[in-house]
Amino acid sequence: MNSIATPKIPVTVLTGFLGSGKTTLLNRILTEQHGQKIAVIENEFGEVGIDNDLVIDAEEEIFEMNNGCICCTVRGDLIRILGQLMRRKDRFDHILIETTGLADPGPVIQTFFVDEEMQDHLDLDGVVTMVDAGHILLHLDESSEAQEQIAFADVIILNKIDLVDSAQLDGLEKRIRRLNAAARIHRVENASVPVPEVVGVGGFDMTRGLEIDPDLLVPGYPFEWLGVYELEPGRHSLVFDQDPDPSVDVLVLPVDSATDEAVDRRLREATIAFSDRTEPLGADDSIRPDGHLASVELVSGGTSAVLGIEREGAYAVFTEHGAGELGLQLLSADGQLVRPAVDRQIAPDHEHDDTVSSVGIEADGELDPERLNEWLGTLLREKGQDIFRSKGVLAIAGMDERYVFQGVHMLMDGQSDRPWGSDERTNRLIFIGRNLDRDELEGSFNSCLT
Amino acid sequence: MPDVAGLQTRIEITTTHETEDWVNQISWAPDGSEVYAACADGAVLAVPAGGVGGIREVHRHEGAATCLSIAPDGAVASGGHDGTVRVDGRTTRLGEGDWIERVTWRPDGGRIAAACGRSVHLLGVDGTLEAESSPLGATVTCLAWHPKGVNVAAGSYGGVKVLRGRDGTLATKLPWKGSVLELTVSPDGRRLAHGNQDSTVHFWDIAKKRELHMWGYETKVRELAWRHDGRFLATGGGSSITIWDFSGKGPEGSRPLELDQHAAPVSWLGFRPANRMLASVAADGMLVLWETRASGPVVSAVAFDEPLSVASWSPDGKRIAVGGTRGTVGICEVLEA
């Protein structure tokens, strides 16, 4: 048998609404990339013409395979066109696919996963989404396509930033971040992003590691309020004047001191504890600072729960709802009102109700391979329709190498990567999708830790 | 090395020629003097089969030359990414922006069917456009004439439409939910088989509209060939070759014959004219000649230095022309024991 290896041609998918500046960007790439031969497959006519000899107009043909399952929906025209283009291998250094403004990027990406010939000859480099800073908010509110285009992206180009002020821009970027915490965001005017940020992004290169916005790794806390109190030993009372729900989850943890810094160090522990199952607090039980989540039944007219403290010190109280909403006060054993030294409202952001979001998970420790397999398999099978993209770098018990994976809907690909060596073994993963339940994902992931 | 079943028929490479690019299709001149190759750089070349003389350019398309077909009188028809069909040097433009996916001469050489975009175009012997079908639901990916030349079958996403060869009107619909990549009509014209993107093969009894679906292929299926008597259909779709037996009650519920020798996906297969031997080429660079008995032994095999993309039997069944992904055209001879 002969050696057959031929270099793969990288392919970039460029998405974005009509008018976002895709064509301007394409023309910039084509004029700046001297010496590189780039073929462009475009679906959208109009706008500005593209100045390139190698432009192929493709009529979008969506093919459903296997009973219309969403992850088997592919672009038939691309299979046909790319199948021919890759034969002209001497002529192209790169292929760019421009999608129509309203296109769901899923079928374009899946095309590269379901066709073995394309896998052998082409390398999906990344999804680049152009966003018109002046119009995207409107699009995000009105169309699921705009949300999906952002959710699928490896690189988001926030274009036409001269049309909005910097406060608007910050808000816009924050909202985009919530949709997709793993993409790189570039702010540009007139599509003037450096070409290497668009071509050669390595978005589907599993060995490139995982960049997740650190703010989004532990963003949506499962509690809405925390307070830190200096407490003497004794049977104190948590008094709830209001009853917004039939019950409220409460967690009390000891902290080193009554400071923000000290409580910050316990946030992760508190988040994990909140994913535990709660036991209703019996009439004679007291809440203890032992890391167990307590569920306090709230009755109209006010509820009082005993907080049993054995040693003098600082204690953090985390509540499922805000202290104001609950009418919460802490009374000492002798009935004196104790004011918190730290009083922090962690209001969940209800400002925009995008159904698309990112859930980033970071956890030290090692994963049990069997539990991980079952968890990921079940998750993608049952929730795959709603998970647009997933990526992860995992530390698996008994494996010296990092395990890297990524997926598009239910299609997943994983492999071992370089050894951990002296680096701390830790797990980072991200899911970007629709109607994701952070608590459930985090809780079920944590159950895979050994 | 493959298992060679005793002292018997073998293949030898007689000549090789280098062309510029991936050979998309290859076919013999009726007199066996030369082979024609449609290449990804746009050239349609005549390559001498006897090792005498040089390569001659017959047509040049802008973009790739995707397909070609040779009439019984030797007329060369080709199609390409430029949306044109060329017939012996004459050019007919069928599409603006649409590629010509297939051209195929009617068996008697009296007409050409060409797939361009979503339509089938019917051209006269001089390349003049004479009729055009209504658009199919999606891009036409494959064409095959009925052996008697009355109808031509066109495959696309959504199934097969059998069109009248006279005017391109619809004769029969064979709907199938999926993407059809290649089709072939049995020598008696009764059966049709199509290979699909979803790694399956589908059979039709055209008149009775009876259908049969075959799963389990390794890759998408674009390699299909009937034996001359219509008893066997050889199918690719991966590195194994699967042969279905249509004698008796047909392949339903039967175990097909599987031929395993290639180390990479098969790219072409064809039965030897009026013979029971089968030839196949694959991305592993091998040309393999098979005996299609139950044991399926390899008769003989030769290796090329590049993945092979296409091949074609000479009309007399004594030679095979192969084409590779880096432009090699090879002529091989079958030496009888």
Q: Answer yes or no: do B157 and A66 touch at CB < 8 A.
A: no
Q: Answer yes or no: do B284 and A116 touch at CB < 8 A.
A: no
The Cα-based distances of A123 to A4, A406, B25 in angstroms read: 17, 14, 26
What ipTM score was computed for the predicted complex, to two decimals? 0.89
Cβ of residue A62 closer than 8 Å to a chain B Cβ = no
Q: Answer yes or no: do A4 and B284 touch at CB < 8 A.
A: yes
Which tokens sit at B143?
């064409």
Please check the confidence at residue A3 and state whether its pLDDT lies above 50.
no
Cβ of residue B102 closer than 8 Å to a chain A Cβ = no
Q: For residue A349, what pLDDT is reported?
A: 46
- Nearest CA to CA, how far is B249 from chain A (Å)? 28
- Mean residue pLDDT across chain A: 85
- Nearest CA to CA, how far is A65 from chain B (Å)? 6
Cβ of residue A84 closer than 8 Å to a chain B Cβ = yes
Q: For residue A218, what pLDDT is reported?
A: 46
Q: For residue B52, what pLDDT is reported?
A: 77
Cβ of residue B305 closer than 8 Å to a chain A Cβ = yes
Cβ of residue A52 closer than 8 Å to a chain B Cβ = no
Gap between the Cα atoms of A175 and A169, Å rounded: 10
Cβ of residue A2 closer than 8 Å to a chain B Cβ = yes
Judging by beta carbons within 10 Å of its beta carbon (0-12, 13-18, 19+), is residue B292 exposed, middle or buried? buried
Closest CA to B244 of B265, B272, B217: B217
Would you place residue A201 in the very low, low, confident or very high pLDDT band (cuts 50, 70, 90)?
confident
Q: What is the 3-state secondary structure (H, E, C) of chain A?
A: CCCCCCCCEEEEEEEECCCCCHHHHHHHHHHHCCCCCEEEEECCCCCCCCCCCCEEECCCCEEECCCCCHHHEEEHHHHHHHHHHCCCHHHCCEEEEECCCCCCHHHHHHHHHHCHHHHHHEEEEEEEEEEECCCHHHHHHHCHHHHHHHHCCCEEEEECHHHCCHHHHHHHHHHHHHHCCCCEEEECCCCCCCHHHCCCCCCCCHHHCCCCCHHHCCCCCCCCEEEEEEECCEEEEEEECCCCCCEEEEEEEEECCCCHHHHHCCHHHHHHHHCCCCEECCCCCEECCCCCCEEEECCCCCEEEEEEECCCEEEEEEECCCHHHHCEEEECCCCCEECCCEEEECCCCCCCCCCEEEEEEEEECCECHHHHHHHHHHHHHHHCCCEEEEEEEECECCCCEEEEEEEECCEEEEEEEEECCCCCCEEEEEEEEECCCHHHHHHHHHCCEC
CA-based nearest residue in chain A for residue B141: A80
Q: For residue B113, what pLDDT is reported?
A: 98
Cβ of residue A146 closer than 8 Å to a chain B Cβ = no
- Of B97 and A10, the one with more pLDDT: A10
- Nearest CA to CA, how far is A213 from chain B (Å)? 38
Would you place residue A138 in the very low, low, confident or very high pLDDT band (cuts 50, 70, 90)?
confident
Q: Answer yes or no: do B179 and A63 touch at CB < 8 A.
A: yes
Residues of chain B found within 8 Å of residue A72, distances taken between Cβ atoms: 198
Cβ of residue A311 closer than 8 Å to a chain B Cβ = no
Q: Check if the beta carbon of residue A115 is closer than 8 Å to that of residue A108.
A: no
Q: Check if the beta carbon of residue B49 is closer than 8 Å to that of residue B33.
A: yes
Q: Check if the beta carbon of residue B3 is closer than 8 Å to that of residue B9.
A: no
Give me the residues paired with residue B142 across strands.
B155
Cβ of residue B139 closer than 8 Å to a chain A Cβ = yes
Which tokens sit at A421?
């060596």
CA A65 to chain centre: 28
The mean pLDDT value for A146-165 works out to 92
Of B97, B141, B265, the CB nearest to A80: B141
The mean pLDDT value for A358-382 works out to 90
Would you place residue A90 in the very low, low, confident or very high pLDDT band (cuts 50, 70, 90)?
low
Determine which of A50, A65, A77 to mutate to test the interface with B (most B C-beta atoms within 10 Å). A65
Determine which of B18, B22, B217 to mutate to test the interface with A (most A C-beta atoms within 10 Å). B22
Please check the confidence at residue A53 and state whether its pLDDT lies above 90.
no
Cβ of residue A292 closer than 8 Å to a chain B Cβ = no
Q: For residue A214, what pLDDT is reported?
A: 60
Determine which of B139, B176, B304 to mutate to test the interface with A (most A C-beta atoms within 10 Å). B139
Q: For residue A45, what pLDDT is reported?
A: 58
Cβ of residue A53 closer than 8 Å to a chain B Cβ = no
Would you place residue A200 in the very low, low, confident or very high pLDDT band (cuts 50, 70, 90)?
confident
A264-314 pLDDT, tens digit per residue, is 888 878 877 887 777 777 767 889 998 888 889 898 888 999 999 999 999
- Nearest CA to CA, how far is B283 from chain A (Å)? 8
Gap between the Cα atoms of B200 and B222, Å rounded: 10
Q: Check if the beta carbon of residue A101 is closer than 8 Å to that of residue A93.
A: no
Cβ of residue A415 closer than 8 Å to a chain B Cβ = no
Cβ of residue A80 closer than 8 Å to a chain B Cβ = yes
Residue A15 identity: T
Closest CA to B119 of A54, A59, A39: A59
Q: For residue A351, what pLDDT is reported?
A: 46
Residues of chain B found within 8 Å of residue A80, distances taken between Cβ atoms: 101, 139, 141
Residues of chain B found within 8 Å of residue A90, distances taken between Cβ atoms: 21
Judging by beta carbons within 10 Å of its beta carbon (0-12, 13-18, 19+), is residue A136 exposed, middle or buried? buried
Question: Could you count the other beta carbons within 10 Å of the beta carbon of residue B219?
Answer: 18
Of B81, B157, B178, the CB nearest to A61: B157
Would you place residue A56 in the very low, low, confident or very high pLDDT band (cuts 50, 70, 90)?
confident
Which tokens sit at A333?
């054993």
Q: For residue A88, what pLDDT is reported?
A: 80
Of B101, B139, B264, the CB nearest to A4: B264
- Of A198 and B285, the one with more pLDDT: B285
Percent of chain A with pLDDT over 70: 88
- Of A48 and B229, the one with more pLDDT: B229
The mean pLDDT value for A236-248 works out to 90
Cβ of residue B261 closer than 8 Å to a chain A Cβ = no
Rg (chain A; Cα; Å)? 26
Q: For residue B104, what pLDDT is reported?
A: 98
Backbone phi, then psi, for B317, in 5-degree steps? 70, 15
The highest-confidence range among A135-149, A187-201, A351-365, B56-70, by mean pLDDT, is B56-70
Give me the residues paired with residue A193 across strands.
none
Cβ of residue B4 closer than 8 Å to a chain A Cβ = no
Q: Answer yes or no: do B263 and A1 touch at CB < 8 A.
A: yes
Residue A269 identity: E
CA A297 to chain centre: 34
Inter-axis angle of helices A105-114 and A144-151, nearest 10? 40
Closest CA to B201 of B226, B231, B167: B226
Cβ of residue B157 closer than 8 Å to a chain A Cβ = yes
Q: What is the pLDDT along chain B (337 residues), one digit of tens a residue?
A: 444 445 578 999 999 999 999 999 999 999 999 999 999 999 999 999 986 789 999 999 998 999 999 999 999 999 999 999 999 989 999 988 889 999 999 999 999 999 999 999 999 999 999 999 999 989 999 999 999 999 999 999 999 999 999 999 999 999 999 999 999 999 999 999 999 999 999 999 998 989 999 999 999 999 999 999 999 999 999 999 999 999 988 898 888 999 999 999 999 999 999 888 999 999 999 999 998 876 667 889 999 999 999 999 999 999 999 999 999 999 999 998 7
Of A2, A79, A88, the CB nearest to B21: A88
Gap between the Cα atoms of A12 and A15, Å rounded: 10
Residue B259 identity: L
